[in-house]
Amino acid sequence: MKKIDSFHYITHPLTDYPIARQVDDVCRCGCTWIQLRLKQSDTEERLDTALSVYPVLKRYNAKLIINDDVHVALAADADGVHIGARDMHPSDARHMLGPNKIIGCTANTLDDVLRLSQYDIDYIGVGPFRFTSTKEKLSPVLGREGIHRIVAAARIHGVCLPIIAIGGIMPRHIAAVMETGVHGIAVSGAICGADDPSAASQAIMKQLADYRSPTADHQSPKR
């Protein structure tokens, strides 16, 4: 099983906070998992942006995951791709990228998790935890209890894939979210929308440190 970080940062295009600076800020604070999300961009712009942040990623030994666009992930030789329900089928993505690249998928229900777990993927993002303005076409909000139920049921069904909670998670929510039994969290607005993105990154890293362990993705949810 590939190593999946517990802290995923998802970029968000902002005119006053360039993506390269976002990446540098979070990596400098210890984040080593960057998901490049450029929903409104074309393939060429996504590829150019991916290549432009490589020097920063290399400096911090961070991974680059491309959101939605398997073709860009392949062209940029990124570490992997994260695909949603309306994107390429996981099996097609695996065929294109090969066995060594990371593939993550989005789920909103237990049925989604069980279906996706049948494919050759490496983690599942479950959410949204709460409303978020950084994501369009939002699925029904799950909240803490919804994520808890999905994680618990998935483990009962034998799903051992790391589950990452996503959607509107702020530093004040981290303890409650991690207690659902998830492997980690993915955030965007909590950092790029903060007055001090570096301080927000550090606060998240500090809280997650309390929950990290070699068997974190196999823990039962705390009650």
- Domain residue spans of the chain: 7-213
Per-residue confidence (pLDDT) for residue 138, from 0 to 100: 62
Let me know if 113 is exposed, middle or buried by CB neighbors in 10 A (0-12, 13-18, 19+).
buried
Rounded mean pLDDT of 55-78?
97
Q: Which fold is adopted by the domain 7-213?
A: TIM Barrel (3.20.20)
Q: Which residues are annotated as a binding site?
A: 35-39, 67-68, 87, 106, 132-135, 168
- Whether the per-residue pLDDT at 221 is higher than 50: the answer is no
Residue 7 binned pLDDT confidence (cut-offs 50, 70, 90): very high
Q: Which residues are annotated as a binding site for Mg(2+)?
A: 68, 87
Q: How far apart are CA 167 and CA 151, in angstroms?
A: 16
Per-residue confidence (pLDDT) for residue 86, from 0 to 100: 85
Per-residue confidence (pLDDT) for residue 134, from 0 to 100: 55
